Amino acid sequence: MTGEKNQWSRRRFLKATGTAGLGALMAPVNRLATAAETPTRVPTRPFGKTGVDVPILSLGGMFNIASNQLMMRQAMRWGVTYWDTADCYQRGSEKGIGKFFDKYPQDRQKVFLVSKSDARDPDGMIKLLNRSLKRMNTNYIDLYFLHSVKRIGELDDEIKSWADKQKAAGKIRFFGFSTHRNMEECLLAGAKLDWIDGIMMTYNYRLMHTKGMKRAVDACVKAGIGLTAMKTQGGGSVRTDTDTEIEMAGRFLEKGFTDAQAKLRAVWQNPNIASICSQMPNMSILMSNIAAAVDKTELSVRDTQLLKRYAQETQSDYCTGCTNICQSAIKENIPIGDVMRYLMYCRSYGDRHYAMSEFNKIPEKIRIRLAKTDYSNAEQRCPQKMAIGRLMKEAIQELS
């Protein structure tokens, strides 16, 4: 992939798509024909020391890709050529990508393809890697992640040898990990491993300004590790019922952004983030995100301050994944961070189906203990002041 120069401003993009404003991004799909003819391309950034330039917007593949082939085609045209999936993503994510490459084999080389392994042992990992390759109709994956790493000890010498072997065999080009838990620690320690090429981590306007996260990102950049941000919406849309939210909404509207677009722009303002991985299960979200990606309007200091203030005012609504704090404060082995994430999928992303399927993978005996455990110590230590006990009970009601 080359760093094709962005030729179109966001406003021209909107004009080209026949839309007059953000509301019109909900336009019927047939109106996209005009956009398909435009030279609009998402800008690119270097991905660490890999030598690859990736689009700053990547397509999170946790949706029914098989039924959205036209949208994938359009994503290609707009330069969204970094696709992220995982062996465990449901709704035929990998198979949908395979269907696409079956029909458009010439596009395979244009895509920076990422998949992930839930297994932690070499035998399990090779089985999953081979299955992913078969499902996706390809003989290599550009970047292969160990999925959802919670502590750096998971990346041991055995995993390193495995990654080296698969690189030598040409099955993967680069290796790294994704992390939703204890991100700062995982990034800092990952930066010390010279065999890690890329990391995808939860990163958004709530987390990006902390000293710990800044230090962790700097360490990875210094080590030449490519960074992809995920969960950039920081827990869903603003509710627009406090002074901060109303002021923020007004300012963003003046700039022509929705709050979702402003949150993307906040992350892109850090040039060290190579790409944002965003779930874009339909054309409206894809277009809205592309519109934000091609815009050159910077958020002002005041905009950033407002986002920070909003993050502070709503901190008890957002779990930052620092599970080493809360889970070590209770006697029971309860995956608090995982349950918080499933609640977020359900409440903020509206993906109840996925949230329920993941929640119900928690062994039954642990789910039973969820409601009975005393979380008072954990609540006292939680930096976000989350009502952990209440949320665990609500998770049982909503997701069982």
How large is the angle between the packed helices 122-135 and 93-103, nearest 10 degrees?
A: 40
The reply to whether 321 sits near ligand SF4 by the rule CB under 6 A is yes
The reply to whether 233 sits near ligand SF4 by the rule CB under 6 A is no
Stretch that binds ligand SF4, among 55-63, 198-206, 356-364, 381-389 (CB under 6 A): 381-389
Stretch that binds ligand SF4, among 7-15, 54-62, 186-194, 335-343 (CB under 6 A): 335-343
Stretch that binds ligand SF4, among 17-25, 148-156, 157-165, 334-342 (CB under 6 A): 334-342
Q: In 3-state terms, what secondary structure has residue 117? A: strand
Contact 26, 14 (CB under 8 A): no
The reply to whether 234 sits near ligand SF4 by the rule CB under 6 A is no
- DSSP lists the bridge partners of residue 114 as 84, 143
DSSP assignment of 354-390 equals: HHHHHHTTS-HHHHHHHHHS--HHHHHH-TT---HHH
The reply to whether 337 sits near ligand SF4 by the rule CB under 6 A is yes
Binder to ligand SF4 among 201, 227, 334, 340 (CB under 6 A)?
Answer: 340
The reply to whether 386 sits near ligand SF4 by the rule CB under 6 A is yes
The reply to whether 325 sits near ligand SF4 by the rule CB under 6 A is yes
Give residues 281-320 in contact with ligand SF4 (rule: CB under 6 A).
319-320
**Nearer of residues 306 and 322 to ligand SF4, judged by Cβ:** 322
DSSP 247: H
Burial class, 354, CB count within 10 angstroms (exposed 0-12 / middle 13-18 / buried 19+): middle
Q: How far is the CB of 379 from ligand SF4 (least distance, A)?
A: 8
Q: How far is the CB of 179 from ligand SF4 (least distance, A)?
A: 13
**Nearer of residues 264 and 322 to ligand SF4, judged by Cβ:** 322
**C-alpha–C-alpha distance, residues 362 and 250, integer Å:** 42
The reply to whether 238 sits near ligand SF4 by the rule CB under 6 A is no
The reply to whether 392 sits near ligand SF4 by the rule CB under 6 A is no
The reply to whether 266 sits near ligand SF4 by the rule CB under 6 A is no
C-alpha distances in angstroms, 227 versus 7, 221, 232, 299, 375? 25, 8, 13, 21, 34
The reply to whether 382 sits near ligand SF4 by the rule CB under 6 A is yes
Contact 314, 263 (CB under 8 A): no
The reply to whether 373 sits near ligand SF4 by the rule CB under 6 A is no
Task: Please give the sequence-ordered ranges of beta strands (E in DSSP) within 147-189, or none if there are none.
Answer: 172-179
State how far Cα 13 lies from the chain centre: 24
**C-alpha–C-alpha distance, residues 350 and 162, integer Å:** 37
Residues that bind ligand SF4 (CB under 6 A): 319-323, 325-326, 336-337, 340, 382, 384, 386, 388
